[in-house]
Structure 1
Amino acid sequence: MKLEREAKLLRIFVGESDRHGGRPLYEAIVLEAKRQGLAGATVFKGFMGFGAHSRIHTAKVLQLSEDLPVMIEIVDTEERIRAFLPVLEGMVKEGLVTLEKVEVIRYRSR
């Protein structure tokens, strides 16, 4: 797959304990993105954060949280990302979804 210089970055912020279809939400999103042929996806686990409910989620030893922040990033063409948005609508019940323009410098496989 060729990814042009201009693309879109889709960021999805959810909680580690969020679920969809019996599996972690972040896993369900990545697997669906792969199934739909998107260029790639990466999941990042946060150490600390808060969202719309203003509850602090942290990995500090004395304040163990079972719901650390998770961010999923997907980069692809605007057309493919926009086609994926309705799928996300049915999956992400709570969280934040953002979209921004990015410049792809290199996208290659071995």
Structure 2
Amino acid sequence: MTDEVTMVRIYCTEGERRIKQTLDYLHNEEHVAGVTAFRGVAGFGRSGKMHTASLLDLSLDMPVVIEFFDRPDKISTVVEHLKTKLEPGHLVYWPARTNLSD
């Protein structure tokens, strides 16, 4: 059996305070079903500035993706809140299916 969910990705960089605030919001306030934060090894955004990791580079400017999912009605509320906190283009979401129900 499968359930409809909405997947969400937030694109940011490691040095931003937004990561901890967002994770705290998703965990402590919204209690979403699942959240994972991924640290990228390379990436660039609208600015075109390449962010890469190397042994000599201890930069806190590496790309991070926060990904989470839950029921569409719950995510709708979460997305509306996050739209007020994030720059345009840093929030992506789409419908998906999962095996939440037994």
TM-score under structure 2 normalisation? Answer: 0.84
Cα distance, 1:36 vs. partner? 1.5
Partner of 1:40: 34
The answer to whether the 8 A contact 1:14-1:94 is kept is: no
Aligned counterpart, 1:27:
20
Change (3 A) 1:48 1:107: farther
Q: TM-score, normalised by structure 1?
A: 0.78
**Larger RCO (CA under 8 A, 6+ residues apart):** 2
Identical residues among aligned pairs (%): 28
Counterpart CA distance in 1 for 2:14 and 2:85 is: 14
* Contact residue 51 and residue 95 of structure 1 kept, 8 A: no
The 8 Å contact of residues 43 and 51 in structure 2, kept in 1 or not, is answered as yes
Size of the aligned set, in residue pairs, is 100
Match of 1:32, SS state, is helix
Q: Secondary structure of the residue that 1:41 maps to in structure 2? A: strand
Does residue 1:87 correspond to 2:81, yes or no?
yes
For structure 1, which runs of at least 5 residues remain unmatched after alignment? Answer: 20-24
Runs of 4+ in 1 over 4 A off after TM superposition: none
Gaps of 5+ in 2: none
Q: Distance in 2 between matches of 1:78 and 1:70?
A: 24
